[in-house]
Structure 1
């Protein structure tokens, strides 16, 4: 999640920061929906098969990470220090993700505050998947040519599909609890270390990380294309056309391999990668080609410090909800229900609460940017 692996001071690519900032903004908005009423359907992940705006956010961040990786590798390090940095940063992000889920390390019960045991702490997660994809993609792009990376992408997507179909019990390839991915997670980690809100299924499970690597590799290839083609306008057009082709391919594959974010299916990878190519092409056209910069700093502030802002957004909402306000609510829950639901009942109030919290996180990012503080793994 950092912009440098080996280069001392690479030139900032404003469009990438804007793209990544938009992703972080939407990620916080979705993750902190105001309580008291259901959020708008597009801001809620699909329950299983299907696709919403919320389902596009995580793969977009992986795509942006791969794009940044292509800029960072313009002056590559020798193999040994490169791998040392790659694995150290990946391990740091993984540990931060694990500690984020363990936080606040204590829970309130009838007997008072008690430590949350390690045995009940989730191991997979968003940052953990980012870390694993970061390491795997970093190794692949270091030693593979563009053609070999494309072969690796096809192998990961088709290999994952084959594992689900042929290693799951008959008829259970796409079943939440019958798929081989769930069985692998239960065997390696046990139910105590998996997502508690999905009945034993973890949407960031280990096997689903394999196709997610493709989102990073696609972002890397897009970044290489931007750097190597002198005609940026032509690159934008080609990137947008490739994006359209990938969206069509994902939709065409979906009858046989359904679009499912929680399974991270191959059709979902093609669809989200296509959307990201189109979106990034649009941002590059607007920011880099036409030179439009008005308002871009708002997203640049988020895009330059994504790890710190994301961690703050997750930890702070957990912390303030530990403050009891009445018998049934923590502070965030009370604010969402007693203030925002009174002002705008229903989904609009939920969105307004989430937007207010997202702006608080943006303010923290603005303060860090003013102070020159950047959290790098």
Structure 2
């Protein structure tokens, strides 16, 4: 969609301040933007973000329904086809409407939604259809308390704990490996925290 606009802030439509989403936010939410001239959770970007949530909800409704309940392989096939269609749509849309997480563009919704659905279909096949479950315990611990770890990450400094326990390892490796080691360390410490809650059957739900 093309239309004349004043005070975009930049001639570069792919810059943080020169896009339609930021322009609308500056008009409707002046002085309230998270980054001054842009808000990653602004008004316009919220609409496609809701679409992302709906994709997950529709997938859940599909699995809870009786449709193909006795034919799980066909369910996997349908999810795989839907995933490929979404990813293809995202890539094609990217030619005119770039995949951009910060703006949560519609092409980003299609691409990431399709990729997520494809991975979900693979895990559904392995765990629920083929019944290979023991290896997935690591993910079960996380999945039982997703809201807890989401909130805890904002309260508990897992990064500092990771640097304390794993900082020596990252110092021995090339500098380019440091972010990976730190990410693994943060994940490991967060998982231990969740496992502590899991063993005591402490689960935060909404």
Same fold (TM over 0.5): yes
- 1:248 corresponds to which residue? 88
Partner of residue 204, structure 2: 375
The separation in 2 between residues aligned to 1:368 and 1:336, in whole angstroms, is 21
**Counterparts of 2:129 and 2:167, CA distance in 1:** 47
Task: Report how far residue 341 of structure 1 moved.
Answer: 3.4
Q: Is the contact between residue 226 and residue 232 of structure 1 (CA under 8 Å) also seen in structure 2?
A: no
- Structure 2 matches for 1:281-360, cutoff 5 A? 281-317=121-157, 331=160, 335=164, 339-360=168-189
CA distance in 1, matches of 2:25, 2:41: 10
**Structure 1 length-normalised TM:** 0.48
Aligned to 1:262: 102
**TM-score using structure 2 length:** 0.84
Q: 1:273 aligns with which of 110, 113, 138?
A: 113
Deviations 1:254-275 (A, max 9, x none): 1111111111111111111111
Structure 1 residues 29-48: aligned runs within 5 Å: none
1:350 shift after superposition: 2.2
Aligned to 1:235: 75
SS of structure 2 residue aligned to 1:207? helix
CA distance in 1, matches of 2:163, 2:73: 50
- Contact 1:301 1:362 (8 Å CA) reproduced: yes
Give the Cα separation in 2 of the matches to 1:232 and 1:346: 46
Query: Which one scores higher on RCO, CA 8 angstroms, separation ≥ 6?
Result: 1
Determine the C-alpha separation between the residues in 2 that align with 1:251 and 1:347: 29
Q: How far apart, in 2, do the equivalents of 1:365 and 1:235 lie?
A: 31
3-state SS of the aligned residue for 2:134? coil
Equivalences for residues 187-198 of structure 1 within 5 A: 187-191=27-31, 193-195=33-35
Q: Give the Cα–Cα distance (whole angstroms) in 1 for the partners of residues 161 and 39 of structure 2.
A: 26
Distance in 2, matches of 1:367 and 1:337, equals 20
Residue 222 in structure 1 maps to residue 59 in structure 2? yes
Offset at residue 237 of structure 1 (A): 0.4
Aligned-partner Cα distance in 1 for 2:39–2:30: 11
Distance 1:298 1:167 in 2: 52
CA distance in 1: counterparts of 2:77 and 2:152, whole angstroms:
37
- Deviation per CA, 1:220-246: give whole Å up to 9, x if none: 222222222222210110110111111
Q: What is the aligned residue count? A: 200
Contact 1:194-1:202 at 8 Å conserved across structures? yes
Does the 8 Å CA contact 1:167/1:180 hold for their aligned counterparts?
no
Structure 2 residue runs without a partner (length 5+):
none
